[in-house]
């Protein structure tokens, strides 16, 4: 969260990626840091107990949405 807030504070597009367990906390932290509109992308919870292949599949499935949130497109210059 701190890194995403810092990037946003510098005028850059930023998105914080958190699991469902921390979604509310992420929005609270962003608001407390003066960035209530910080984009937050939410992954399923838990991830740490899932097999690596499943975690990789979750990441691959969410990556296009994270890129879209940043304003980039898969295969474009923003990747």
pLDDT at 6 over 90: yes
pLDDT at 79 over 50: no
Enumerate residues 6+ apart whose C-beta is below 8 A from 40: 15, 16, 17, 18, 23, 26, 27, 30
pTM, 2 dp = 0.84
Enumerate residues 6+ apart whose C-beta is below 8 A from 75: none
In degrees, rounded to 5, the angle at the alpha carbon of residue 41 between the alpha carbons of residues 69 and 38 is: 70
Per-residue pLDDT of 17-61, as tens digits, reads 999 999 999 999 999 999 999 999 999 999 999 999 999 999 999
Q: What is the average per-residue pLDDT within 62-68?
A: 94
What is the distance in angstroms between the CA of the first residue and the CA of the last residue of the chain? 21
């Amino acid at each position: 969260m701190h890194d995403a807030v810092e990037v946003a504070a510098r005028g850059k597009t930023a998105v914080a990626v958190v699991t469902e367990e921390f979604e509310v906390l992420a929005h609270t932290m962003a608001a407390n840091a003066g960035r209530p509109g910080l984009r937050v992308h939410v992954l399923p919870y838990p991830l740490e107990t899932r097999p690596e292949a499943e975690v990789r599949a979750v990441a691959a499935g969410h990556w296009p949405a994270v890129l879209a949130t940043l304003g980039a497109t898969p295969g474009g210059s923003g990747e």
